[in-house]
Amino acid sequence: MDPLFLAYSYFRRRKYQKCVDICTQLLEKNPYDQASWTLKTRALTGQVYVDEVDVDEEGIAEMLMDDNVIASVARPGTSLRGVKPGTGQGAPSQGVRPMSQSGRPLSGFVRPGTQSGRPGTMEQAIRTPRTAHTARPVTSASGRYVRLGTASMLSNADGPFINLARLNFNKYAARQNLAKALFEYIFHHENDVRNALELAALATESCQYKDWWWKVQLAKCYYRLGMYRDAEKQLKSALKQDEMVDSFLYLSKVYVRLDQPLTAVETYKSALEKFPGETSLLTGIARIYEGLNEMDNAVKFYKEVLHFDNMHVEAVACIGTHHFYTDQPEVALKFYRRLLQMGVFNAELYNNLGLCCFYAQQYDMTLTCFERALSLADDQTLGDIWFNIGHVALGIGDMNLAYQCFRMALASNNDHAEAYNNLGVLELRRGHIEQARAFFQAAFVLAPHMYEPHYNFAALADQLGDLQSSYNAAKRAVDAFANHTDSKDLLKQLKQHFSLL
């Protein structure tokens, strides 16, 4: 069998390492074999390729030094930053849906940016750990014509595959069959955005600005460099030449980074006119409405996603989460069981099934689901599962078990603010005032966006006669959650105290 044909077969089956090994052997025999060089370049790119439309995690620099903020206080419903709980449509009746530090409701489906908010200080940003992480087939034949390349295609065994410092970008930009593979290699594998931008600019000029693909690549480079308005211009120019779904998705992503969610929604809706029923566009609209805390609109679009793709895991999970936080655990249980039938098998799903069974009063299945969740949990999820088991223990009135579960949550995750708050409540019931105060303080230091520890600390300080501390804590609770009636009542009571004094 022809080795290049075998390498191409491995590439199509996504066995990239075997493809790279065969191409390396071919290049050792003939370093100027452009077909092998291009295929190896695409295989190396395929090993690290990530669809950047979905993956978008803000780093510390973007969060703390954002030059694109137009106003510090935006009009309600026009900004994804600083969304207050309870201000959107369809506010939950069962307590409050958990919020991130920025005020966004935690999604039912883990995506970059959904589990952590925008920190207000460098200390909070450093304390919050963050994780980060289709090439075209190359046709070949056994009797192919091998054309000679340039010396920049040569690679040393101990050095990099392509020496970017020796590349003549003008020559490669004029050869579209090599330029696109080389760009993806530089952008994704080498992560060298500036060289990728130079190649994309020269290639765009070489094709007389008529290739929409290069304009999208220019926009991707500008986006990586934080030049969002330049990225917007390139994407709009690309859409005038050829309307593609990816171009609309990238343009909406730019508007989200510019904190213009309503413009992003308009872009998605205009794309739906060209591509009706495209689930990626409908999902994008639902995510934005979820970020704006307009849960009714979000669920409406998630249901529309399921109309076109009834196996869409994110839509099923988010609808299930919405029903759970609107006092419908039985309905949420159906959606989570659907995920189980679809083959989703992880600790988070069994944890949610356990909570739904508990609130639906199906106690026989509750502990079974939590046991399965504990057996599948890793270090990141173990603390949350123990915390939820502690809530089940509180529901059945076993305070000792609840205390042990919250302790286990802290043993798994020492920064679990909710566990600190609940331990403070249990210590207060036992009459241990100082321990309760310490737990409440630890909770609101770790999670200043939570209103519960602020309110509990205010109530405790009021009992102890420390009116100034109680007033400050109650004010922080109202700021954290403006619609919390108990905090407002306590604040009014304390104001009366101060007026009497």
Please report the pLDDT score of residue 387 as a whole number: 94
Could you tell me the residue ranges of all domains in the chain? 1-49
Please, are residues 105 and 318 in contact by the beta-carbon 8 Å criterion? no
Are 450 and 443 in contact, with CB atoms under 8 Å apart?
Answer: yes
The tens digit of pLDDT for each residue in 230-280 reads 999 999 999 999 999 999 999 999 999 998 999 999 999 999 999 999 999
The model's pLDDT over 34-47, given as tens digits with 9 standing for 90+, comes to 899 899 999 999 99
Q: How far apart are CA 474 and CA 495, in angstroms?
A: 11
- 60 pLDDT above the threshold of 70: no
Amino acid sitting at position 153: M
Confidence of residue 138 (pLDDT cuts 50, 70, 90): very low
> Is the confidence at residue 394, as pLDDT, over 80?
yes
Q: What does pLDDT average to over the chain?
A: 80
Contact 228, 222 (CB under 8 A): yes
Query: Which among 171, 176, 219 is positioned nearest to 196, based on CA atoms?
Result: 219
Of residues 463 and 117, more confidently modeled: 463
Mean pLDDT check: name the lowest of 1-5, 221-225, 306-310. 1-5
- If one compares 100 and 39, the residue with the highest pLDDT of the two is 39
pLDDT at 233: 95
| 325-357 pLDDT per residue, tens | 999 999 999 999 999 999 988 999 999 999 999
**191: alpha, beta or left? (left if phi > 0; alpha if psi -120 to 50):** left
Q: What was the pLDDT predicted at 130?
A: 33
The better pLDDT of the pair 323, 450 is held by: 323
